[in-house]
Structures are given as structure tokens and as C-alpha cells.
Amino acid sequence: MKCLRETNYSLEDLEGKSIFKRLATRAIVLKGEEILLIYTKRYNDYSLPGGGVDPDEDIKKGLLRELHEETGAVNVKILEEFGYYEEHRPTYYDGYDLIHMISYCYLCDADKKLGDASPEQYEIENGSVPVWKNIHKAIAYNKNVIKENEHSMGLSIKRETFLLEAIRDKYL
């Protein structure tokens, strides 16, 4: 799979740091210019559905699990690899200085009508909801949040906006 970008948000030298490695997946589900996203009220942003792969879980199985949990997507088919996004950033994990996260992205197909999602408690508390959104509007929205440097802005918005632009450039 192709590396789309590697970033180091911590701006620290990685040598000698205690680093937690996390594998994640991101699903790209397009219907024309509409894309299935997660809107998170807490961070006021749009992101691709997906999340962490469980230990000993196959990446594609993790993708299908995360997509279903977060959106309720049904009749999902993985169509092709899109690429991966690699990042080093600060972490809240005890005993670690940084997190090294690799997000594997796949183009998928699914029904437009969503079934019942089963988000985790923290996703509910953050106000995360699945939405079909015009990709151009989602990019513009996220870019405005970044430009205004909103106090609620999380680190993932830069990754997600980059990925949305790359998706637009490749598929639209």
C-alpha cells in the first residue's frame, strides 16, 4: 500500500522516546460527490469513519467492524486500497511519550441507507454522528475550522482534510 503522507505533530526528535504503535483503518464510501463521514460536535469537524484495529485483528476485518459500528453501513464491499497516512503525535497513553499511528484507507461500497450504528460511549459523548456530505463542502468546512484555529480543534482534522482532498483528486 502506498504512503500518502507522514507527519510528526509532536515536533520532537523521536530517538529515545517511548512510542505506542496503533494501527487504524479509514473507510472511503462515495456516492457521486457525496461521501459517508462522521461529524463530531466536540471537534466541529468531518472525518472518515474508522478507528483502531484490535490486537491480532486483520486490518480489513477491523475496517468492516469500525465502519459498521460508527455508521451502521450495510452491504459493505472493500473495493481497493487507497493508501496509508502515518503520523507521530502526542499521546495520553500512560507510559508513552508519543503515538505512532498508521491509518490504512480503503475505497468501499455500501448502501446509501444506513442501518443502526453502535458507537462507543466516548463517540456518543463527543457527539459523533454519521452523515452523507458533499465532499467539497466537507473540505471547505474543515479548512475553515483550521483557518479559524477553533479552540475545539483536534489534531486529526489536518489528517482528515488532507485525506478528503486526496480522495477528491483521485476519484472526482
Query: Cell 482534510 belongs to which residue?
Result: 161
Burial class (CB in 10 A: 0-12, 13-18, 19+), 75: exposed
Confidence at residue 78, expressed as pLDDT on a 0 to 100 scale: 98
The domain tally of the chain equals: 1
Cα–Cα distances in Å, from 148 out to 48, 144, 155? 21, 6, 14
In which domain, by residue range, is 27 found? 3-171
Confidence at residue 50, expressed as pLDDT on a 0 to 100 scale: 97
Three-state DSSP class for residue 40:
strand
Q: Give CA–CA dist 115/135, Å, rounded.
A: 22
Ordered per-residue pLDDT tens for the chain, 172 residues? 999 999 987 666 778 889 999 999 999 999 999 999 999 999 999 999 999 999 999 999 999 999 999 999 999 999 999 999 999 988 888 999 899 999 999 999 999 999 999 999 999 999 999 999 999 999 999 999 999 987 778 889 999 999 999 999 999 9
pTM: 0.94
Question: What's the CATH code of the domain at 150?
Answer: 3.90.79.10
Confidence at residue 112, expressed as pLDDT on a 0 to 100 scale: 97
Q: Give CA–CA dist 148/158, Å, rounded.
A: 13
